[in-house]
Every structure is written in structure tokens, then in C-alpha cells.
Amino acid sequence: MVAAVLAAVLLVLRIVSSGWDTAVIPDRLSDFVTLSISVVIESLPFVFLGILLSVVVRFWVPDTVIHRLLPRRRVLRRAALSLLGVLLPVCECGNVPLARGLMMKGLSVPEAMTFLLAAPILNPVTIVTTYQAFGWDDGILVGRIVGGFVIANLVGWLFSLHPRPDDLLTPGFSAACKHEAAHAGHSHAAAGAGARRGLAGVFSPAGRAAQKVKLRGAVVAFSEETSAMLPALVVGSAIAGAIQVGLSRDILLALGSNPIWSVLALMILAFVIAICSNVDAFFILSFGGTFLPGGIVAFLVFGAMLDIKMVTLLRTTFTTATLVRLLIVVGLASLALGFGVNLLA
Amino acid sequence: MLLSLVGIVAIVWLAATGRLGLYIHPRYFEFTVVMAVIAGVAVIAAFAVLPGVRDGDDGHGHGHDGDDGHGHDGHDHDGLADAEGHEATGSGTAPRRQLFWSVMTVLVIAGTAVALLVVPPQTLTTATVDQRDLNNSVAVANASETAQLVASDTAGFTVKDWASLMRQGAGEEYFADKTAEVTGFVTPDPQDPENVFYVARFVVTCCAVDAQPVGVPVYLPGWEETYPVDSWVTASGGFGPNPSTSSAQAIVLEPAELAPTDEPAEPYVY
């Protein structure tokens, strides 16, 4: 009810204001607003999809399924998780809520990190669009897939050396995980009972009641995740929009034909432009003539893993110190990858 | 929650009035609207369920603590201070911190609401053209596409098609007997802003963030008196060598007709 009324009020506001004259707004400001909104509108559906998947994983996928399917050895486990993107081809901004859901489900921090970094690259949509854009030319597609896999697992391995992985998380989220784990036993018993009874359980009175409680919990979880994600998304998009208006691209493009600088310039471009990994191949495609393939691979790998919007989204879950380390490792690895491809190509 | 609602209402309204194209490429329209509607249902359900949960179920009361905490997490500067903030609840600094973050939250929500719901949707302007090289290789078609263009009928050519042909150096003999009709916004030539302007459009690959300007140059000394920057015009005519000595463009459109027009419903090209 409340929501419906609110929605109606907002809609009326929108309709009333749409007729207003725009001449009073300076061009720069108006472009800043347009650019930021376009990042929000582009990412919002992916974020919603990620949150929905995360809630489904948390409430309807039994823990046992996850733990039985994944290999026990940690290295193999992370390798398997980095391929999980194949099942969930969402853009990287949708992966953040999903990774949070997986961590609440008991996945370790380095494992979730590996998934976060690998999934935007190792998923069918990204691979197909990259193939459409570049084919097999210059090892760009291979460089992206292999490079993405290696870097994600390298990061996962590095962070698994951390003595207290919980310290990598913000205290708020870490507490939420512990809380979820404590509750898991009790809700799990109920879920197990429901599952044993199978479909019949859903229709029995007790099963229905359990389902209702679950649905309620899921809705609450959805609202908590949106409250966590959306402010971060809005702030990240605003920063991305501001950088777009303030920074001239000519400088970055001018650096593009130098074998060393092209890699760095394209990584910076990837970081500030903040577009989803599903489509970035098309964006960079026409740079093909201007830039060396190493720069393009670095753009496609680094940009898919981290950008200005991703960093604000990740800040909801990881501490600043963690993110700085993550940026340094991924940045250096992408640089090395870019130089390597330039040498070979 | 309120932010989701703002976002959802904005998306649905833009889609209903056909203005979603100002921000994203049409291929994402369906996905975006479907997700907005699904999320809308979930948000409305959440608003209905939440008050009940707040009063009852103790377990989820905890969740709400976390919820407020997210306000911190999103913007805090270091994790250490964050930890203090959580543990110091009850001491003197905590309420002030809390107040600060609630003010920030309100500001973010208000800012988003104004940007998404109050400011009328607009296309990008010349301010963005200045930041991005006009007709750089990103936007225009590549060599093989241009080769196809050379062979095809020019009647349906867009600003992007003409700009590609010029960029790829189709040559004066190609343009000699061609006439074009193009619609776009007016933006000055950086090298010779007095005499040359472009009839320009933005090419969008994914969303407005990656928009790249393309344009067909027009030689017309003193153009700015009649056609202000960022106004929309339709120009038609043949092509000829550029009389301007400082402009980098070799070929310009020589407009037989040049008339102001309204911004089209689809301001970007794809």
C-alpha cells in the first residue's frame, strides 16, 4: 500500500516536472546528469537480477547442494567457482549481491573474490560478444579468457593466505554472515523437512507455513540488499559521470599507440568508463586500429573486474584496505598480461 | 528501498514515454523494463512485509541494524573507523556519526530523486563533444563497412554514414555527384569555429556513457548568428572542397537548404 502510494506520488512528480524548461541548467551539469543516469539505468536491471539470484541462492538452494557440487581441494574449488559465471551470465555489477549471498551461504572470502573477478569474463554472453567483436584476431579472445581465469585465481590464492579472512570484510557484513550462519542450522532443519516431503510438502499446511516464512525472509533480504547496493551504485555512477565530464579522452587516446602507455591508458579508460563486461568488447572494437592488442586485452580484463562503479559497490562488503590490495594485484597482473600480449602479437 | 522505487518509477516512465533511448541502446529496452517490473513487485512486497517484521521477529531486528550499517559501509573512509562506529554505540560520538550518515543518506536519495524524476531527460550537448574527439575512429564504421557504403544507395544515409565515408577518405570524386540530407545538432569545428560547424549526432554502443560524436562539416561563415550551438538543423545539398584554411576537414557539405528543426524522437544513432 505504502509503496503503491509512494510510487504514484513519484510518478506524478515525474509527469509534472517533465514539461519544465531546461534552459536554466548549464550544459556541463546537464551532461553530467545525463551520463550518470545512463550508468544507473544501464546497471540497475543487472543489479536487481543479481539481488534476486542472490536471494534465491540464500533461501531456496540447500547448503548441501553447494558443498556437494564443489570440489574439496581449495585450489580446485576456486577454479570451479570461477566457472560459475557460465551459469549466471550477469554483468559484474550484478555479481556483487550474488557474491554476498554466496558468502552468507558459507563460502569463504577468497572463494567469493575469485567468483567476483572471474564471472564477468568467463560467462557465455561476454565470450560470445568478444568473439563477435574480435574473432580470433591477435589472441584478444584467448588473452581475455585465459588472463581473466588466471588473475581471478591468483587473487583468490593470495587472499587465501590471509590469516583472518573475516577481517577483509566490513564489520557490518561480517556480522551479517555470522548471524546468517547461526540461523542456518535452525532454518535449515525446516528446509530439510520441507525438501524431504518434496512437492507434497509445499502443499501440506506445515509446508505452506514454512514456505510463507521463507518468502517473508526472502523479501526482507531483498530489501536489505537493495538498501546496501543502491546507494553505492548511485554514488559510483555519479563519480563515473563526473569523471566523464571533467576528463578529456584525447589524452588517453593519444597515449594509445605506444606499446607501454597504451596498456596503462586503456586500463585507466576502462576504470573510469565503467561499462558492463557484456558489451565492452563492442565499445573497444573500433579502437582496434589505434591501439595495440595488449592494451585491448588489458582493457577487457581489468575493466570487467574493477571500475569506479564496482569499487563503490564492493565497498559495501570489503574494507578499503582490501580493495586497495585488490586493485594493486589486479592492476599489476593486467599490466603484465597486456605487455605479454603485446610481445607475442 | 526508496532509491529502488525512484529508479523503477523513472525507468517505467521513460519506457512508457519512449525516452529510454536517451540513456541506453534499444537492444536493452526489454530486459531493463522486465527487470524493473519484477523488482517493482518485490519492492512493493517488501514495503508490505517490513513493518510487520520490524515489530515482531527479533532475529530480523538485527538485520535492520545491519541495514543502517550499510549506510556507513557504502561511504566510509576506512574500515577501522567503521568498526569504532559500531562498537562505540552509546558513547558520545556515535549519535553524531549516525546523524551524519543519515543526512548523507537523505542527500543521496534526494539527489537521485531530483536527477531521475525532476530534471527533464535530455540529450548530451556540445560540452561532451568537446571532451570526445569528433569523428574519431571509435564512432565511425570500419574500412569494410565503408566499402559497402561506397557501393550502396545514398538516399538513406545517416550522419554516421557520411562521417564514415569522409573519415575513410572516400575522396572528392566520390562526393562530387552526391547529395545528402542530414539532421543533427550544431557543434563548432574545433580548428575553425568561425566558419565551419558540424551537423552532429552521438553514436551509442551501449548507453550514453560511451556516446561518441560524429558529424558532417558545413562551411558557412558566421553560422552561429543563425544557428545557435546545440540547436537541431536539417541540411541538404552537395559536397565540395573545404574553403577553410585552418579546418582539418577536406570536404564539406554545401547546403542548398539549411533549416532549424526539432530534436528527433531518437536523437542518437546506433
The helix, strand and coil proportions of chain B, stated in percent and rounded to the nearest 5, come to: 50, 20, 30
A173 in reach of chain B (CB within 8 A): yes
* CATH 2.40.50, chain B: domain bounds: 126-269
pLDDT value of residue A336:
92
Q: What is the pLDDT of residue A250?
A: 64
Of the pLDDT bands very low, low, confident and very high (cuts 50, 70, 90), residue A196 is very low
Contact check, Cβ <8 Å, A316/B74: yes
CB contact under 8 A, A44 and B121: no
CA A52 vs CA A105, A119, A169, B234: distances in Å: 15, 17, 22, 47
Q: Please tell me if residue B13 touches chain A, with a CB cutoff of 8 Å.
A: yes
- Most confident segment among A7-11, A33-37, B160-164: A33-37
Average pLDDT over residues A18-36: 70
B73 touches chain A (CB under 8 A): yes
**pLDDT at residue A192, rounded to an integer:** 45
pLDDT over threshold 70, residue A88: no
**H helix intervals, A2-91:** 2-17, 27-60, 63-69, 74-82
The region of weakest confidence among A121-130, A181-190, B149-158, B176-185 is A181-190
> Has residue A173 got a pLDDT over 50?
yes
Query: Residue written as cell 570500419?
Result: B142
CA B265 to chain CA centroid, Å, is 14
Least confident residue range of B39-43, B65-69, B216-220: B65-69
Residues comprising chain B, all counted: 270
Pick the more confident residue, A177 or A206: A177
Helical (H) or strand (E) element with A116: helix A109-118
Within 8 A of A36 by CB-CB distance, chain B residues are: 115
Tell whether the model's pLDDT for residue A182 goes beyond 70: yes
pLDDT at B88 over 70: no
* Residues B22, A173: C-beta atoms closer than 8 Å: no
What single-letter DSSP state applies at residue A84? G
**More confidently predicted of B166 and A111:** A111
The CATH class for the domain spanning B126-269 reads mainly beta
Range scoring the smallest mean pLDDT among A1-15, A185-199, A224-238, A242-256 = A185-199
Task: Determine the pLDDT at residue A328.
Answer: 93
Please state, in angstroms and rounded to a whole number, the distance separating the CA atoms of residues A264 and A286. Answer: 18
* Chain A contacts in chain B segment 28-47 (CB below 8 A): 28, 31-32, 34-36, 38-40, 42-47
Q: Report the C-alpha gap between A310 and A329 in whole angstroms.
A: 16
Which residues of A, range 25-44, sit inside 8 Å of B by Cβ? 25, 27-28, 30-31, 33-42, 44
% chain B with pLDDT above 90 = 0
**Cell numbers at residue B143, please?**
574500412
**Distance separating alpha carbons of residues A44 and A10, to the nearest angstrom:** 18
Please give the grid coordinates belonging to residue A68: 556437494
pLDDT at A333: 93
Highest mean pLDDT among A8-22, B218-232, B243-257: B218-232
Percentage of chain B modeled with pLDDT above 70? 73
For residue B80, the model assigns a pLDDT of: 36
Lowest mean pLDDT among A76-90, A129-143, A290-304: A76-90
Please tell me the distance from the alpha carbon of residue A222 to that of residue A50, in angstroms, as a whole number: 10
With cut-offs at 50, 70 and 90, classify the pLDDT of residue A323. Answer: very high
Note the pLDDT of residue A332. Answer: 93
Task: Return the C-alpha cell found at B41.
Answer: 513487485
As a whole number, mean pLDDT of residues A214-228 equals 82
Local confidence band at A331 (pLDDT 50, 70, 90 cut-offs)? very high
Radius of gyration, CA atoms only, chain B: 26
Half-sphere exposure of A173 (CA within 13 A, CB side): 33
Residue with cell 572494437: A285
Of A21-35, A100-114, B242-256, which gets the smallest average pLDDT?
Answer: A21-35
Instruction: Tell which residue, A257, A300, A301, has the closest CA to residue A281.
Output: A300
Cα distance between residue A54 and residue A59, in whole Å: 9
Dist. CA A202–CA A187, nearest whole Å: 16
User: B26 in contact with A at a CB cutoff of 8 Å?
Assistant: no
pLDDT band for A222, please (50, 70, 90 cuts). confident
Whether A17 has its CB under 8 Å from any CB of chain B: the answer is yes
Residue A190 contacts B, CB cutoff 8 Å? no
Distance CA A300, CA A36 (A): 22
- The answer to whether B167 and B137 have CB atoms below 8 angstroms apart is yes
Residue-level pLDDT at B24? 80
Tell which wins on pLDDT, A247 or A80. Answer: A80
Best-predicted range by mean pLDDT (A157-166, A331-340, B47-56, B73-82): A331-340
pLDDT at A169 over 80: yes
- A108 compared with B15, residue with greater pLDDT: A108
A252, pLDDT greater than 70: no
Q: Is the pLDDT of residue B166 over 80?
A: no
The mean per-residue pLDDT over the stretch A10-23 comes to 63
Percentage of chain A with pLDDT > 90?
A: 10
In the predicted structure, residue A283 carries a pLDDT above the cut 90? no
Q: Which of B140, B184, B261 is nearest to A290 (CA)?
A: B140
Query: Which segment of A151-160, A168-177, A325-334 scores lowest on mean pLDDT?
Result: A168-177
pLDDT > 50? residue A308: yes
pLDDT of residue A280 exceeding 50: yes
Task: Name the range with the highest mean pLDDT among A68-77, A274-283, B166-175.
Answer: A68-77
Quickly count: other Cβ atoms within 10 Å of residue A34's Cβ.
25
Across chain A, what does the average pLDDT equal?
79
Q: How confident is the model at residue A154 (pLDDT cuts 50, 70, 90)?
A: very high
Dihedral (Cα; A314, A319, A320, A324), 10-degree rounding: -80
The dihedral of CA B101, B102, B103, B109: what is its sign?
positive
Rounded distance between C-alpha atoms, residue B208 and residue B185, angstroms: 16
Which of A89-93, A111-115, A153-157, B216-220 has the weakest average pLDDT?
A: A89-93
- pLDDT class for A190, splitting at 50, 70, 90? very low
B197 — alpha (psi -120 to 50), left (phi > 0) or beta?
beta
3 state DSSP class of B203: strand
Please state the rounded mean pLDDT for residues A92-100: 83
The verdict on B179 touching A (C-beta cutoff 8 Å) is: no
Burial A68-104 (b: 16+ CB within 10 A, else e): eebeeeeeebbbbbbebbeebbbbbbbbbbbbbbbbb
Check residue A72 and give its pLDDT.
78
